[in-house]
Amino acid sequence: MLSFFLASYGDGYENDFTPGGSFMKSRTKVLFALLCSILIAGTPFGSMAADKIPVPPSKLGITSGTGSPPAPVTPPGNDGLLSGMTPGSYNIPSGWSLVRTQDFEGSCPEGEWCGRWSGKVTSTKPHRGSNSVEGTYSNDQADAGWSLSEGYIGTLSEVYVSFYEYIDSAARFNDEFYLAHFAVNSPTLQEVVLDWFWAPTFNSTTATLYAVSQGVQYGRFAAKTATVPTGAWVQWEIHYRPNTSGNSNGFIRIYKDGTLFSSQENANINGTANMNNMFVQVGGDYTLLSWSKNSPTCTIAGTYIGDGTDYCMVGMGWSGQSFSNPHLHPPLSNFKRYIDDIILMKR
């Protein structure tokens, strides 16, 4: 697995925050850093794909920070701020300011990446209007969605993103699947990744959604075990308040179709990192990792996700394996994912 020192290693990490980054040129550096990280620290449960964003170790030290405890914060319940709204019809709540809207009906403005690695704008299945981002997931590290590069959102105390997602009803999953992602890469790396984790069953739709913090601060927050919605458009709204440096006064709230899905209040989510000018992404990576019980020979499969080690992905050069013919584990069917009608605001 990648460790957070990759941010200082070279351009391999930073390129994922920038539309059209030099992905292939960084592959060698990334894999070298990944291998070094594994040899030093071992391979944790649930690691990410080799050239994507890392996942924290299975034993996470979630600290409470320093300073006086903040006043209790009550989640607002079934009160998504943009529920039912789209770029064609919305109202920005008092105290908030609009950063971007994107319905993929026109050009992709500076700083935005409309489609990402495995996606493209098509007219196949729009939520409304004529277009959406369409992504085919058929291999490890497939990545479709939308992102706003670091440096464009500006200063903030809170960020709020709303978007609509459709996943094919036939989709089944293993390991990890991004829903959204917030990150800063400079001067230090800190991320908050909304990530579906499958365990222990292979080829399932049941998973736990975590807000995974990694970088200066590590932890898993706002856990919710549920069935990943497929076969219908779903609106997700994510409200993230970064904590002030070292304090437990941040929160993250996740809404599904206007209803509070999960939340974490009064938390030290980003440690001492300043999240101004953060990178913002909706959609993203899928990992299909092979778990082996006899690494480095890598011939005996783990019987569930996390059983053994995923070191074989790098040691055997298995990164990018296909759904139809994965190493050690049962095959999966390819599936489509669609993203549309994004509203991003801050205050």
List of residues 6+ apart from 211 with CB closer than 8 A: 192, 193, 194, 220, 221, 222, 252, 254, 264, 269
The reported pLDDT for the residue numbered 18 is 56
User: Does residue 9 surpass a pLDDT of 90?
Assistant: no
Secondary structure of the chain in the HEC alphabet?
Answer: CCCCCHHHHCHHHHHHHCCCCCHHHHHHHHHHHHHHHHHHHCCCCCCCCCCCCCCCCCCCCCCCCCCCCCCCCCCCCCCCCCCCCECCECCCCCCCEEEEEECCCCCCCCCEEEECCCEEEECCCCCCCCCEEEEEECECCCEEEEEECCCCCCCCCCEEEEEEEEECCCCCECCEEEEEEEEECCCCCEEEEEEEECCCCCCECEEEEEEEEEECCCEEEEEEEEECCCCCCEEEEEEEECCCCCCCCEEEEEEECCEEEEEEEEECCCCCCCCCCCEEEEEEEEECCCCECCCCCCCCECCCCCCCECCHHHHCCCCCCECCCCCCCCCCCCEEEEEEEEEEEEC
Q: How far is it, in rounded angstroms, from Cα 87 to Cα 103? A: 6
Q: What is the pLDDT of residues 54-94, one digit of tens each?
A: 333 332 322 223 333 344 345 555 689 999 999 999 999 99
User: Does residue 211 surpass a pLDDT of 60?
Assistant: yes
Percentage of the chain exceeding pLDDT 90: 74
User: Does residue 124 surpass a pLDDT of 70?
Assistant: yes
Cβ-based burial of 317 (10 A; exposed 0-12, middle 13-18, buried ≥19): exposed
The reported pLDDT for the residue numbered 186 is 85
């779903």: which residue's tokens? 234
The reported pLDDT for the residue numbered 6 is 33
User: Does residue 164 surpass a pLDDT of 70?
Assistant: yes
Q: Hey, CA dihedral for 53, 193, 215, 302, is it positive or negative?
A: negative
298-310 average pLDDT score: 94
Q: Which of 49, 12, 18, 222 is nearest to 137 (CA)?
A: 49
Least confident of 15-29, 38-52, 128-142, 319-333: 38-52
Q: How far is it, in rounded angstroms, from Cα 313 to Cα 244? A: 37
106-129 average pLDDT score: 97
Average pLDDT, the chain: 83
- Give the model's confidence band at 201: pLDDT under 50 very low, under 70 low, under 90 confident, else very high: confident
Q: What is the pLDDT of residues 10-64, one digit of tens each?
A: 333 334 665 544 333 333 333 333 334 433 333 333 333 333 333 333 323 222 2
Question: Where is mean pLDDT largest: 2-6, 35-39, 179-183?
Answer: 179-183
The reported pLDDT for the residue numbered 75 is 55
The reported pLDDT for the residue numbered 23 is 35
- pTM, two decimals, is 0.81
The reported pLDDT for the residue numbered 65 is 32
Q: Which of 89, 23, 22, 82 is nearest to 52 (CA)?
A: 23
The reported pLDDT for the residue numbered 200 is 87
The reported pLDDT for the residue numbered 271 is 97
Q: What is the pLDDT of residues 144-160, one digit of tens each?
A: 999 999 999 999 999 99
Q: What is the pLDDT of residues 221-262, one digit of tens each?
A: 999 999 999 999 999 999 999 999 999 999 999 999 999 999
User: Does residue 212 surpass a pLDDT of 60?
Assistant: yes
In angstroms and rounded to an integer, the radius of gyration of the C-alpha atoms of the chain is 19
Strand partners of residue 333: none
Class of domain 98-346 (CATH, top level): mainly beta
316-333 average pLDDT score: 94
- Give the model's confidence band at 185: pLDDT under 50 very low, under 70 low, under 90 confident, else very high: very high
